[in-house]
A and B are shown apart, each in its own frame.
Chain A
Amino acid sequence: MTALLEVRDLAVEYDSGERRVRALDGADLTVAAGETIGIVGESGSGKSTLGSAVGRLLPSTANRVTGDVWLAGERVFDLPPAGIRRLRRERLGFVFQDPIASLDPTMRVGKQLKLVLGSKGDPLSHLDRVRLANPGRVARMYPHQLSGGMAQRVALAIAMACQPRLLIADEPTAALDAQVREEVLEVVFSVAAEAGTSIVWLSHDLTAVARRCSRVAVMYGGRVVEDGPAADVLGQPAHPYTAALARSAPAMASLGDRLSPVPGRPPVLAEASHGCAFEPRCPYAEERCAKERPELHVVRTQEALCHRATELVTAS
């Protein structure tokens, strides 16, 4: 099997001088060509660090401790500067949370697209592809004149200009209105499908991700704690954290229900976790959970990093 993206045991630490934060604590992820996968996690779970690491776009304060990333057969962290630039240019597309900030404010949209396309491409057809009405007018606009939804489409057009193999979308709709949100997601997924591009969509919204992606990976404390088909992860979570997350979303509650929030709050790791990072908040925690790092357990269609995953499933 040749996966498009393979992340193995990746650990990344941020060192601000005063404080060290371990954002990734041995994360594993595999994405096959053409797959759409949603990575779900709360702030501090490490999902943005994982997304940036794929393109080696980590800030200078970040330090890769262990692990490796392979993208389209190449070891991302071993490439020379020219190699990583070529990889980003040809294989990778990024879409970020704040679309307007991701564009150059001093340059017209058309010119920015032209810069990415080189001499061969026609900017208008690319704007048309992301379903922007009146591409000619949009091409002459400056980023600040665009609405959030338009700007995100432009950012998508730029990201998809070179038909990348993988598109990483980091909370692409968080800054947009609910209605525009659906439209933008629709465009992201259909454009990627046409081009045969895999999507890694980073989000904090489990239900939204499960609706669009074929697979969902849930992150907690810098690791992927559950990974499986979207419907199963949402419907029959194998990891206690995923179950807790699903229970705490107000949209999932029925009339008169009381939300059952997870007690406590997400961890900020300073060093490698000695056991399971969810242990302090987990209702099923037992002694070994605090002492031993959980191994991968296959439960039904999912993989879960939980000592008790198998027995909890048989019990329920």
Chain B
Amino acid sequence: MILELDNVTVTFTAGPPFRREHVHAMRGVSLYVAEGETLGLVGESGSGKTTASRVALGLQRPTAGAVRFEGKPFPKRRRELAGHMQAVLQHPHWSLNPRMRVGASVAEPLAVLGEKAPDRVHEMLERVGLEAGLATRYPHELSGGQRQRVSIARALVTRPRFLVFDEAVSALDVSVQAQILNLIKDLQREFGFSALFISHDLGVVRYIADRIAVMRGGEVVETADTATFYTAPAHEYSKRLLEAL
């Protein structure tokens, strides 16, 4: 088991003192991601899937419940996970530092670990279908699809065992989206990482994931194999999502 969320609850407080409001972003969520598999997480904005991704990445501490990574409870210091998990995030426009060359962006996770390996940067760029020469370019010279490929290269350069894709293809055009989805599938076969793939788009999740969890109002309402989602989802809400495709 790579990642386990065990009965996780996250509560945010808002408002002035004495009249604080408590908002449950996640309510008793249990999920797991097994070795080498992709778990798809679908839900609309406000369903708690973004919070779930932050919890999985160790950016958000649960109010209650436990998170285990590779069988061990999350370390107190996030840095101890450096290089073991990475993420590909939503906005191709903001995923790369505009003041850093592409090569430096891809090398950053290595630099954090104190490693220098320009060969690996070039190799990684080629693995995601880009020319190694792109390393000296700045992000604004790249298209949206190219930038998202660079983000994937950056995420994979430390050969992590676990990746989170948070709406990673949502901002891309349909024809480019298909290229990136196929790339992710190919890379997963090659590198064997486990993944949590979060999206509001059931069509995309269904294509990429092995299992699918549906979130709504901070709770997981259904978890099932992808095949079930092509044929007969159990929950009423999942059926509605499917019909909307």
What residues of chain A have their CB less than 8 Å away from a CB belonging to chain B?
A: 42-43, 177-179, 181-182, 204-207, 244-245, 248-255, 258-263, 265-266
Contact = CB atoms under 8 A, between A and B. Distances in A.
Interface of B: 44-46, 143-145, 173-179, 181-182, 185, 200-204, 206-208, 226-227, 230, 240-241, 244-245
Contacts, number: 77
Contacts of B177: 248, 250, 261
A313 B9 CA distance: 57
Given A244-B175, A250-B204, A255 B181 contact: no
Given A178-B244, A244-B175, A261 B226 contact: no
Nearest to B180: A261
Nearest to A241: B175
A249 B173 contact: no
Contacts of A249: 174, 178, 203
B173 A258 contact: no
A225 to B, nearest CB: 14
B174 A253 contact: no
Contacts of B174: 42, 204-206, 245, 248-249
A42 B178 CA distance: 13
Dominant SS among interface residues on chain A: loop
A254 B200 CA distance: 19
Contact of B203 (A244, A251, A255): A251
11 contacts: A42-B174, A42-B175, A43-B144, A178-B200, A179-B244, A245-B174, A249-B178, A250-B203, A251-B202, A262-B175, A265-B143
Given A245-B175, A258-B182, A265-B145, A178 B241 contact: yes
Contacts of A260: 178
A204 B175 CA distance: 10
